[in-house]
Amino acid sequence: MTDDDVKQFGDIRLERVREHVWEMPREGEMRVPARVLASEQLLEQIRQDKTLEQLRNATHLPGMTKHAICMPDGHQGYGFPVGGVGATDAEEGCISPGSVGYDINCGVRMMKTNLTYAELEGKEEELVDALFANVPSGLGGGGIVQGDVDAVEGVLDRGVDWALEHGHAVEDDLAHCEDEGRRPDADPDAVSQKAKDRGKNQLGSLGSGNHFLEVQRVTDVFREDVASEFGLEEDQIVVLIHCGSRGLGHQVCSDYLRKIEKEHGDLLDSLPDKELAAAPAGSELAEEYYGAMCAAINFAWVNRQLIMHRTRRVFERVFGRDWEAMEMDLLYDVAHNIAKKEVHEVDGEDRELYVHRKGATRAFPAGRPELPSAYRDVGQPVIIPGSMGAGSYVLRGGERSLDLTFGSTAHGAGRTMSRTQAKQEYWGETVQDELRDQQKIYVKAQSGATVAEEAPGVYKDVDEVVRVSDELGIGDKVARTFPVCNIKG
């Protein structure tokens, strides 16, 4: 091992295992080593905040197996780093709301169309105005569906099945969503009334922060055979939707963090950071949280489904055609910020694990039985958004993902700057003007502050994040897209 193969950042030592793989050796109270998947360029950015410290802390969680992992887009989060993956034994380990995050199932979905960029040119402002007027966004209440008690209960229990029953989806939407848009382990009774009250007026809304709806064009195809299976080709118009479980998911996380603090203080005291709050596997609280989290996952899937179906109606008005004629079909919907029970091989034997993916994307290769039949032979679509001024990517689950990352990859570009700093560095209206005048990207938001917080310069280089994923074999590049218009909260 040469000097170039060792990085010392304060009291944290990283050793290069191979290209793009850095290991933090097990020491002290660490239960397993940790690994950072990053190029030298990305590692230099990752080390700037508390990401590596948080990753080391995560190795202390009971039942952690193999490695705690940081993806190429990793950055500091609440307790567990964003871009973190940790798999704990489902019988002898724990489940950690702090390692899932507040916005449960903050995820992305991509909808295809048969429109070309040439057909959209000249309609950008009309389209962005229509989307902004018809898709609720911003802080607080207001959604496409003004839910009552029965609606919220149905959404939490049945997920996108509820949307289908109420005319907000078609059968094909379910067939192209992770878990077909429904977590069967959901337990609406484990969700507090306060959480339900927060969610009932937010069904079908983007929210604020980094959530968005973006119309994009496909600019590059890297694997023609896979792109063909996904229904993607150059110059095609697609729509990307990024949002989560809104106030309901946030409340679920808050509720269970408080319960864990009261009921499992001994476990919390054994951890280096109380923000990693966890409930022991098999405990009543672990089962309750899992049921509530799965219900919040269902809520988020319905939220994105409602937005997608409303987007179809907006396109009908702008382009004067039925959405079916424009072939506005769901490519896939992937979840971030979840902990799912999955079976993975550990030390030569299959074990059921809670796979925590916080700001990370499931990336299963071909053959996994959990995949929809449409993608079981080709591999799971993976959608990685970039910033407003950069491209996004469609990948497919890589052959090495199961071995290296419990079937996971990055979820985006990853921040390099806090929201507070971003608002000091950028002026929202200036960012909008530059995107429109220099790149023909039309952005509309509830406030200039939101645009400043999400300026292109506050994110890592998504091209580099995807390059690392592709070269490691955890997520294979399929296609690249570029923004046309974007709405935000």
Q: How far apart are CA 218 and CA 393, in angstroms?
A: 9
The b-or-e profile of 453-468 (16+ CB within 10 A means b, else e) is bbbbebbbbbebbbbb
Cβ partners under 8 Å of residue 281, min gap 6: 62, 63, 88, 89, 90, 91, 92, 93, 94, 95, 354
Q: Which uninterrupted H or E stretch holds 172?
A: helix 171-175
Q: Retrieve residue 182's tokens.
A: 């429904």
In the DSSP assignment, the letter for residue 376 is T
Q: Retrieve residue 69's tokens.
A: 């992992």
Of 75, 242, 250, 411, the catalytic one is 411
Q: How far apart are CA 266 and CA 62, in angstroms?
A: 12
Q: How far apart are CA 299 and CA 177, in angstroms?
A: 14
Catalytic site includes residue 411: yes
Q: How far apart are CA 231 and CA 89, in angstroms?
A: 38
Q: How far apart are CA 174 and CA 235, in angstroms?
A: 26
Query: 339: closest CA among 311, 297, 377?
Result: 297
Q: Retrieve residue 448's tokens.
A: 């200039």
The catalytic residue positions are 411
